[in-house]
Structure 1
Amino acid sequence: MSKLLVIEVSPRFEFSVSRALAARFVENWKAAHPQGEVVSRDLATMNLPFVDLPWIGGAFSPPEQHTEEHLDAISLSNELIAELQSASDIVIATPMYNFTVPAVLKAYVDQIIRPGVTVSATYEGLVTGKTATVIVVTGGDFRPGAPFAAANAVGPYLQQALGFIGITDLDIVLACRTRMVDEGEVTITEFIVEHEEMIAAAAVRSFSPVAA
């Protein structure tokens, strides 16, 4: 059975454009996968820890050397990786903060890149057979050809990080100029409608031989 993992990042909740776009993606995905399961991981509502010394000890030492402190430090990482491995499709909806990903999303990536677990000793990704969509929402204009297009580090970073662990079938959906919503030039509903076609295409793309 197909399973969609929805990873949301924005702390703006009902005022968040990225969350609204993610909800629209889920609607389209469920229409294509009526028997599919949707699992949500809300990074904004959990106390996601940063990597620390006990985590490093647990992640980079063999299991027989693990202490209780090591096991406790990597327990959430194990949970997040199992959740990722069980999904057939993944959608990450995130705002851009200062040209890159929010700190909580970087913390998530650090938790799921694990030697011997999600990437082999020879640097082969071990999280395979999945499609991923990254919805990147920006206040300014970072579309190809725009003056600040080259400053967009979100898509390239996530493409590299996810590809490193084996998730190479990845699509980036860029939704720019949400400042128009904040300034009242358009409503959030109008903004979503403007990007409806891109979101629907991304959700249908996930209905692929990999995920079928």
Structure 2
Amino acid sequence: MATLLHIDSSLFPQEASVSRDVAASFRKTWEAEHPGGTVIYRDLADAPIPHLDGQAAAAGFVAPEDRTPEQAAAFALREELISELERADAVLIGAPMYNFTIPSTLKAWLDQVIVVGRTTGSDTPSAAGKPATVVASRGGGYGPGTPRESFEFVLTYLDKVLGEGGFKLDVEFIVPELTLAETTPGMEELIDLAKASRTQAHEAAESRAKALAANIAA
């Protein structure tokens, strides 16, 4: 059965979160294509992953058979999260921009999952080649040529850590922009563009889910 790893990191519920809403379109389409499949779901706002501590970090550099009981216990959560990534056929991540970068909860998940020599740091990381879709919503415009282009650290960072510089996943970004236009004074003239961006994001999510599902056996 096909397995999707779905991670949400928005602080807000779906009705108030564009990243959750667009990711939900992907998941709904995926599940329609794989009704008997499995979805591993992590809501990092509802159930935050603890920050990586020294004991768990050190355990990542020790062979499993050589770990102390304390190191083995500290590594248990990392093993659980890594195994979820490794057994998934596809990965879906909702990553809204907060203060120019990713939510701290998503960074905590990444810190737990990044293990040099296993998930990263080799020619063939354990999840290499898996398709990953990132819904990277943002309140303003940060694309090429915009005044705040240099403030964009979501795609810049995730492209490296999820892609060739880290897990070597096959990453595609879906980027609904201007999400604050309808609620922020001074952005009124951008409301139509914001609505169009959101519509395009939903369409891209549905198209991406359908295409990936067709290439992954049920």
> Which TM-score band applies after superposition, normalised by the shorter structure?
0.7 to 0.9
What is the CA–CA distance in structure 1 between the aligned matches of 2:148 and 2:117, rounded to whole Å? 38
**Distance apart, 1:165 and its partner CA:** 4.3
Q: Which amino acid aligns with 1:155?
A: L
2:55 alignment partner in structure 1 = 54
Matches within 5 A, 1:182-193: 182-183=183-184, 192-193=198-199
TM-score by length of 1: 0.87
**Distance apart, 1:176 and its partner CA:** 0.8
2:113 alignment partner in structure 1 = 112
> Cα deviation per residue 1:90-149 (whole Å; 9 max; x = unaligned)?
1101111121111111111111111233235x4542212411000001111123332223
CA-based RMSD: 2.5
Is the 2:6–2:41 Cα contact (8 Å) retained in structure 1?
yes
Matches within 5 A, 1:1-212: 1-14=1-14, 15-119=16-120, 122=122, 124-163=124-163, 164-183=165-184, 192-207=198-213, 209=215, 211-212=216-217
> Cα deviation per residue 1:137-174 (whole Å; 9 max; x = unaligned)?
11111233322233211112112111244443110111
What is the CA–CA distance in structure 2 between the aligned matches of 1:52 and 1:177, rounded to whole Å? 36
Is the 2:118–2:125 Cα contact (8 Å) retained in structure 1?
no
TM-score by length of 2: 0.84
Q: Secondary structure at the match of 1:197?
A: helix
How many residue pairs end up in the alignment?
Answer: 210
Q: Which amino acid aligns with 2:136?
A: V
Q: Which moved more, 1:63-72 or 1:77-86?
A: 63-72
What is the CA–CA distance in structure 2 between the aligned matches of 1:45 and 1:102, rounded to whole Å? 13
Change (3 A) 1:191 1:129: closer
Q: Which amino acid aligns with 2:78?
A: S
Is the 1:162–1:168 Cα contact (8 Å) retained in structure 2?
yes
What is the CA–CA distance in structure 2 between the aligned matches of 1:141 and 1:57, rounded to whole Å? 40
Q: Which moved more, 1:9-18 or 1:123-132?
A: 123-132
What is the CA–CA distance in structure 2 between the aligned matches of 1:166 and 1:48, rounded to whole Å? 19
Structure 1, gaps ≥5 residues long: none
